[in-house]
Amino acid sequence: MVNGVNLLFQFLDNFAFIVLAAAGLAIIFGIMGVINLAHGEFIMVGAYATTLANIRFGLPLLVAVPVAMVATALFGLAVERTIISGAVPNWLWKYARLGLAGGLGRLAALDAVPERAAASIDAATRRLPESPLVEPLYDRLADSMVATWGLSLILVQGARIQFGNSLDQVGTPVVPFVGETISPAQIPLLNLIVENSEFSYSAYRVSLAVIAVGVLAAVYVLFTKTDFGMRARATIQDEDTARALGVDTGRTYMATFAIGSALAGLTGALYAPTITMVPDMGTGFLVESFVAVVVGGPSVVLGTTMAGGFLGAISAAVTNLLGSTFYGRIALLLTAIVLIRFLPSGITGFVRELRERRQEAT
Amino acid sequence: MSGDGFSRRQFVTAGGAALVSGLAGCSGGGDGGGGDGGGGGATTDTMSSDGTVTLGVLEDQSGNFALVGSPKHKASLLAIEEINNDGGIMGNQIEYYDPDPQSDNQRYQELTRRMIQQREVDALWAGYSSATREAIRPIIDQNDQLYFYTTQYEGGVCDKNVFAVGPTARQQLGAVLPYLVEEYGPRIYTIAADYNFGQLSADWVKVLADENDAEVVDEEFIPLSNSQFGSTINNIQEADPDFVMSMLVGANHTSFYEQKASAGLEVPIGTSTAMAQGYEHLRLDPPAMANIYAGVNYMEEIPTERNTSDGGFVDRYYEMWPDAPYLNEEAENNYFSIYMYKKAVEQAGTFEQDEVKEALESGITYEAPEAPEGESIALDGATHHVDHHMWVMRADDQHNVEALDDRVIEEQFLSNTVGCDLTQEDEETQYTPQDYFEEAG
């Protein structure tokens, strides 16, 4: 059953899916300590935005994809400001509180006895708690999960109410220079080793692997070569010190969430042509991305790459050997369980421990 | 980019719990405000005493099955409105209750109890999936409630209270499979959803293949949550069958058609589950559904006079529901079964459920939209199933749908193989092909 080239294409397909699904989730988790259980729905937002831009507004797919990315990023920004950081409700509360206190003060000033007026202002303001209305969800794993899970339910049903139970679908685009399908026999070198050329693959899906590598490279550059990346890394290493040194950690978190959302939007946009456009399409992405983040460990780029490569290879091999996607999936989940048992902090966590141990030894 | 702040173990434990509850949430849907939707508004519980008859219509207007369930809901309301405008049933206006079960089986159970005990409905239409039917069937049987199940399904339910008026797997596959064997050859590859409907349907493919001198070269069962079909497509390419039989179900599985088209898999596909229910030929971009052959009793496109003429079924449906996306197979089943109920009541001369059941068992016929001019479909009293007029419908690479073949296919499993006769003996059983066919085991 196993056929080397066949396996390679399937691996590329799996790798692309896992990496693209996980990238946004990994960034948000790795930097903010927020687990976004609505990640699948963010992908749905990107897919819907692409499809609507393409079908309803006639934008070509190449334009629709960045439009969807921007739309999902803006959406993520709104979610971060209202739910994750609570900045918007706190801001509203602050002004409502000031307004209330001011109003009460003016009322009290009408009172003839000044002492009584002062006392009543005091009493009134004391009754309005000073603390912010909403505590940010940073580093609160369970809380962030509950909040975003609720958000995901709202998004699924909201999409259903707004857009109905399905959207028309965009057709799979043709890849330049390659065409619609790709088969091992088409590639000169592979042609020599593969005799039967009955297999053909969607060239578009295989090319997503290239895009996935591009996304990882871009994330790597962003977090290691830019000022923003430096501030972000400072923020996760020690938030208080970073703030003391002048890093606006709130803004860093906000930008991180928007970037993670944009990546989810990109994933949705890229997979929109291959997956049925229904409101609960996001669930298909969440499981794989979740497992990839757990297996990958704390380092976003390296972890996601390794998890994508490792899990993609296992799933492709088992699927191929046993001839069923079902077993491929079981193997993927079993691998995750075994890995977590022995490497509780994921692949990159293990690598880091090794490195630290070696440093201590020298 | 390395954080020390979060324990991975903590993340994993919490994450696992959330995923489990997430999955539960898929079918949970919350209990919502719900209540009774557009009920007729009258306050009475009993029917004929004050000139109303009460029907319960539980169809998924939201949740996972909303895509296929809401056409059923809409078509039911169309039939009820038509009958009411026409003077009702024996002069009684139909009052109906149609709360939204939200594709949630637990909610279905609660609402079924409420329909029977509080609303005292004279007949009940409920549920899309086989899982839903099996969830509420005990409640139906406990209360001897007259119940219509209208979805195409795996077949085999022999139950004195259940009128399963949708076509069975044997009828649907029996329409399309012989056609494809004749047209393309005897080697079949089966792909099916991995739950009881898919498993039983795959068994039926084997039985029908045997009867038509064909063979199933391989079969693959795919979890409902799976939306990636790369390896399935490769397996099919490797097996190189003459055609594929597909009993894929649900939104995730619909991705198969797009993915096989873009992977260049051009083998013809026969199906009982695509196009007629979820109108994939309208939702997907061509040529995803090219060369798909559906065995169905109804699709919006079937070329009968009653269906497509001016003022025909399709016209009336869209006049009442201008924004409806499609008029699907199950919608027609709801529609004609409400008319069959009307006929049975008029024949019995009463709304008493036992007597209406007896009237239904006497062999009610109706000139349903699926039947060509001059023909009608008949309810088989012994099995409570319908001898449907079945069609083979094919989509071309532009997704235009044409009818290739049509004929009456009787329900055969319960009547010929099992020997279920509800007019003689009360039963509440679902029979499966494994019990009767060696090749299905």
Which stretch of DSSP H or E encloses residue A267? helix A249-271
- Rounded distance, CA A45 to CA A158, Å? 11
Q: Which of A202, A233, A285, A314 to mutate to test the interface with B (most CBs of B within 10 A)?
A: A202
pLDDT reading at B400 higher than 60: yes
Residue A282 at interface with chain B, using a CB cutoff of 8 Å: no
Nearest residue of chain A to residue B228 (CA atoms): A325
Chain B: closest CA distance from residue A86 (Å): 21
Residue A348 at interface with chain B, using a CB cutoff of 8 Å: yes
Q: How far is CA A86 from CA A19, A74, A139, A143, B98, in A?
A: 30, 16, 14, 13, 40
pLDDT confidence of A195, banded at 50, 70, 90? low
Nearest residue of chain B to residue A18 (CA atoms): B228
Backbone angles phi, psi at B402, to 5 degrees: -130, 155
Chain B: closest CA distance from residue A212 (Å): 17
pLDDT reading at A112 higher than 90: no
A64-78, A152-166, B349-363, B406-420: least confident range: A152-166
Closest partner residue to A37 (CB to CB) among B22, B67, B225 is B22
Residue A13 at interface with chain B, using a CB cutoff of 8 Å: yes
- Rounded distance, CA A64 to CA A55, Å? 10
**B430 closest CA partner among B238, B168, B188, B126:** B168
Interchain pair A298, B3: CB under 8 A: yes
Q: What is the DSSP letter of A112?
A: S
- Rounded distance, CA A263 to CA A42, Å? 9
pLDDT confidence of B36, banded at 50, 70, 90? very low
Percent of chain B with pLDDT over 70: 88
Q: How far is CA B364 from CA A154, A159, A226, B334, B336, in A?
A: 46, 43, 77, 15, 11
pLDDT reading at B45 higher than 90: no
State the CATH class of domain B170-296.
alpha beta
Closest partner residue to A299 (CB to CB) among B2, B235, B259 is B2
Q: Which two tokens stand for residue A300?
A: 């976003």
Q: Which two tokens stand for residue B229?
A: 């079909």
| CA B96-B98-B99 angle, 5° bins | 145
Task: Give the pLDDT mean for A219-241.
Answer: 91
Decide if B52-167+301-389+409-430 and B170-296 have a common fold.
yes
Residue A140 at interface with chain B, using a CB cutoff of 8 Å: no
pLDDT confidence of A259, banded at 50, 70, 90? very high
**In chain B, domain spans:** 52-167+301-389+409-430, 170-296
- Rounded distance, CA A279 to CA A159, Å? 6
Q: Which of A249, A325, A338 to mutate to test the interface with B (most CBs of B within 10 A)?
A: A325
Sign of CA dihedral B315, B319, B323, B328: negative
Residue A316 at interface with chain B, using a CB cutoff of 8 Å: yes
Nearest residue of chain A to residue B259 (CA atoms): A274
**pLDDT at residue B180, as a whole number:** 98
Residue A168 at interface with chain B, using a CB cutoff of 8 Å: yes
pLDDT confidence of A174, banded at 50, 70, 90? confident
- Identify whether the C-beta of residue B377 lies closer than 8 Å to the C-beta of residue B402: no
Question: What are the chain A neighbours of B232 within 8 Å (beta carbons)?
Answer: 325
Q: What is the DSSP letter of A195?
A: -
Q: How many beta-carbon contacts under 8 Å exist across A and B? A: 208
Question: What are the chain A neighbours of B30 within 8 Å (beta carbons)?
Answer: 153
pLDDT reading at B2 higher than 50: no
Nearest residue of chain B to residue A276 (CA atoms): B255
**pLDDT at residue A8, as a whole number:** 86
pLDDT confidence of A139, banded at 50, 70, 90? confident
Question: What's chain A's average pLDDT?
Answer: 87
**pLDDT at residue B136, as a whole number:** 97
State the CATH class of domain B52-167+301-389+409-430.
alpha beta
pLDDT reading at A265 higher than 80: yes
Chain A: closest CA distance from residue B219 (Å): 10
**pLDDT at residue B124, as a whole number:** 98
Q: Which residue has the tokens 């439009």?
A: A67
**pLDDT at residue A166, as a whole number:** 83
Cβ neighbours, 10 Å, residue B24: 9
What spatial distance separates the first Cα and last Cα of chain B, rounded to whole Å? Answer: 55
Q: Which two tokens stand for residue A111?
A: 């009172």
Task: Give the pLDDT mean for B179-208.
Answer: 95
**pLDDT at residue B50, as a whole number:** 54
Interchain pair A33, B6: CB under 8 A: yes
Backbone angles phi, psi at B47, to 5 degrees: -90, -85
- Rounded distance, CA B54 to CA B115, Å? 10
Q: Which two tokens stand for residue B332?
A: 């027609």
List pLDDT tens digits, range B197-255.
999 999 999 999 999 999 999 999 998 888 889 889 988 998 999 999 999 998 889 99
Interchain pair B259, A324: CB under 8 A: no
Residue A276 at interface with chain B, using a CB cutoff of 8 Å: yes
Task: Give the pLDDT mean for A327-340.
Answer: 89
pLDDT confidence of B101, banded at 50, 70, 90? very high
What spatial distance separates the first Cα and last Cα of chain A, rounded to whole Å? Answer: 49
If DSSP codes are grouped into helix, strand and coil, which group holds residue A198? Answer: coil
Interchain pair B261, A205: CB under 8 A: no
List pLDDT tens digits, range B63-79.
888 899 999 999 999 99
Closest partner residue to A280 (CB to CB) among B238, B251, B263 is B251
Interchain pair B251, A352: CB under 8 A: no
If DSSP codes are grouped into helix, strand and coil, which group holds residue A202? Answer: strand
Chain B: closest CA distance from residue A90 (Å): 25
Chain A: closest CA distance from residue B327 (Å): 14
Chain A: closest CA distance from residue B343 (Å): 34
Residue A339 at interface with chain B, using a CB cutoff of 8 Å: no
Chain A: closest CA distance from residue B365 (Å): 34
Q: Which two tokens stand for residue A54?
A: 């393409």
Question: What are the chain B neighbours of A145 within 8 Å (beta carbons)?
Answer: 14-15, 18
Question: What are the chain B neighbours of A6 within 8 Å (beta carbons)?
Answer: 234
Chain A: closest CA distance from residue B185 (Å): 19
Task: Give the pLDDT mean for B291-297.
Answer: 97
Residue A236 at interface with chain B, using a CB cutoff of 8 Å: yes
**pLDDT at residue A96, as a whole number:** 83
A75-89, B1-15, B119-133: least confident range: B1-15
Closest partner residue to A30 (CB to CB) among B1, B221, B325 is B1
**A169 closest CA partner among A268, A275, A64:** A275
Cβ-Cβ contacts under 8 Å for A144 (sequence gap 6 or more): A33, A34, A35, A36, A84, A137
- Identify whether the C-beta of residue A48 lies closer than 8 Å to the C-beta of residue A67: no
pLDDT reading at A125 higher than 80: no
- Identify whether the C-beta of residue B369 lies closer than 8 Å to the C-beta of residue B332: yes
Question: What's chain B's average pLDDT?
Answer: 89
pLDDT confidence of A350, banded at 50, 70, 90? confident
List pLDDT tens digits, range A99-109.
877 777 777 66
Residue A1 at interface with chain B, using a CB cutoff of 8 Å: yes
HEC readout, chain B: CCCCCCCHHHHHHHHHHHHHHHHHHHHHCCCCCCCCCCCCCCCCCCCHHHCEEEEEEECCCCCCCHHHHHHHHHHHHHHHHHHHHCCCECCEEEEEECCCCCCCHHHHHHHHHHHHHCCCCCEEEECCCHHHHHHHHHHHHHCCCCEEECCCECCCEEECCEEECCCEHHHHHHHHHHHHHHHHCCEEEEEEECCHHHHHHHHHHHHHHHHCCCEEEEEEEECCCCCCCHHHHHHHHHHCCCEEEEECCHHHHHHHHHHHHHCCCCCCEEECCCCCCCCHHHHCCCCCCCCEEEEECCCCCCCCHHHHCCCCHHHHHHHHCCCCCCCCHHHHHHHHHHHHHHHHHHHHCCCCHHHHHHHHHCCCEECCCCCCCCCCEEEECCCCEEEEEEEEEEECCCCCEEEEEEEEECCCHHHHHHCCCCCCCCCEEECCHHHCCHHHC
pLDDT reading at A316 higher than 70: yes
Backbone angles phi, psi at B424, to 5 degrees: -100, -35
Closest partner residue to A349 (CB to CB) among B8, B218, B325 is B8
Chain B: closest CA distance from residue A166 (Å): 7
Q: Which of A51, A276, A341, A353 to mutate to test the interface with B (most CBs of B within 10 A)?
A: A276
Residue A320 at interface with chain B, using a CB cutoff of 8 Å: yes
If DSSP codes are grouped into helix, strand and coil, which group holds residue A273? Answer: coil
Chain A: closest CA distance from residue B111 (Å): 21
- Rounded distance, CA B195 to CA B78, Å? 33
A345-349, B34-38, B361-365, B407-411: least confident range: B34-38
Exposed/middle/buried for B223, CB within 10 Å: 0-12, 13-18, 19+? middle
Cβ neighbours, 10 Å, residue B126: 26
pLDDT reading at A146 higher than 50: yes
List pLDDT tens digits, range B254-270.
999 999 999 999 999 99
Q: Alpha helix (H) ranges present in A128-248? A: 141-163, 188-193, 203-225, 227-237, 239-244
Residues 179-208 of A with CB under 8 A from B: 180-181, 183, 198-202, 204-205
Catalogue the E-assigned strands of chain A: 181-182, 201-202
Task: Give the pLDDT mean for A49-69.
Answer: 94
| CA B415-B417-B421 angle, 5° bins | 35
Q: How far is CA B249 from CA A84, A111, A281, B65, B338, in A?
A: 37, 74, 14, 11, 26
**pLDDT at residue B26, as a whole number:** 40
Q: How far is CA B436 from CA A273, B204, B221, B424, B431, in A?
A: 44, 11, 22, 22, 9
Chain A: closest CA distance from residue B4 (Å): 7
Nearest residue of chain B to residue A290 (CA atoms): B15
List pLDDT tens digits, range B126-153.
999 999 999 999 999 999 999 999 999 9
Backbone angles phi, psi at A182, to 5 degrees: -135, 135
ipTM of the complex: 0.78
Which stretch of DSSP H or E encloses residue A92? helix A87-109
- Identify whether the C-beta of residue B30 lies closer than 8 Å to the C-beta of residue A153: yes
Which residues are bridge partners to A250 per DSSP? none
Can you say how many angstroms the Cα of residue A200 is from the centroid of all Cα atoms in its chain? Answer: 31
- Identify whether the C-beta of residue B257 lies closer than 8 Å to the C-beta of residue B191: no
Interchain pair B255, A170: CB under 8 A: no
